[in-house]
A and B are shown apart, each in its own frame.
Chain A
Amino acid sequence: QQQVKQSPQSLIVQKGGIPIINCAYENTAFDYFPWYQQFPGKGPALLIAIRPDVSEKKEGRFTISFNKSAKQFSLHIMDSQPGDSATYFCAASRGGNTGKLIFGQGTTLQVKP
């Protein structure tokens, strides 16, 4: 119930492609869903986040789609660039006021030039 399942584990796309990373959760008490980006040797950094009262959120080339009934959410990266090559983590938390994030397993994205 506390898990967040993320797929795929790794992804390779060509520059300009649209990688999609999917996450699913079981706990309906989760009410905050962030995505973090991690470069090698660095800590994760917040990319974009959504709360369940909206179905989509866009920030620049990054879009979260959220399906509350299916308990799934996904990250789309438009016009992907080699600089987007990193590990992406979805996460969830509940209660709205906690920094206790339950992370997915991570997706390593490689964008080829």
Chain B
Amino acid sequence: DTAVSQTPKYLVTQMGNDKSIKCEQNLGHDTMYWYKQDSKKFLKIMFSYNNKELIINETVPNRFSPKSPDKAHLNLHINSLELGDSAVYFCASSQGGSGQVFTGELFFGEGSRLTVL
């Protein structure tokens, strides 16, 4: 039973298109995140949500819009895709992590590799 699952695992699309990545966690955590890993493997936080509320927005372009319908799901929609958006996007979850008691561990999904042509 996968703890943090993301779909799709791969996306290949043209510049200017819109795409979405879905994430679900079955760990009962209350905080979820999107991290971006670039071609040099550098990992950077994009957003975090706690119980459906946006907590962290790391000056990500407005073309990226996260949405959390409930605390087990966090989706990422990207408008007007650009070449520089090509990366692996990781969803993660944790217990606490937004000012409440943080267990210290992020649980990552397997990533969604986005390629913009």
A residues near B, CB below 8 A? 32, 34, 38, 41-46, 49, 87, 89, 95-101, 103, 105-106, 108
Contacts and interface: CB of A to CB of B under 8 A. Distances in A.
A99 B94 contact: yes
14 contacts: A34-B105, A43-B110, A44-B106, A44-B108, A45-B108, A46-B104, A49-B104, A87-B41, A97-B97, A99-B31, A99-B96, A99-B98, A103-B42, A108-B41
Contacts of B100: 97
Nearest to A105: B42
B117 interface: no
B50 to A, nearest CB: 9
Interface in B69-117: 90, 92, 94, 96-102, 104-106, 108-111
Interface of B: 4, 31, 33, 40-45, 48, 56, 90, 92, 94, 96-102, 104-106, 108-111
Contacts, number: 68
A89 B40 CA distance: 12
A48 to B, nearest CB: 11
A44 B90 contact: yes
B105 A44 contact: no
A99 B44 CA distance: 12
Nearest to A96: B102
A45 B96 CA distance: 17
B41 A98 contact: no
Contacts of B106: 44, 46, 99, 101
Nearest to A49: B104
B102 A97 contact: yes
Most chain B beta-carbon neighbours within 10 Å: one of A41, A100, A108: A100
A38 B42 CA distance: 12
Contacts of A101: 43, 45, 106
B104 A98 contact: no
B102 A44 contact: no
Contact of B102 (A42, A98, A105, A106): A98
Given A43-B92, A43-B111, A97 B99 contact: yes
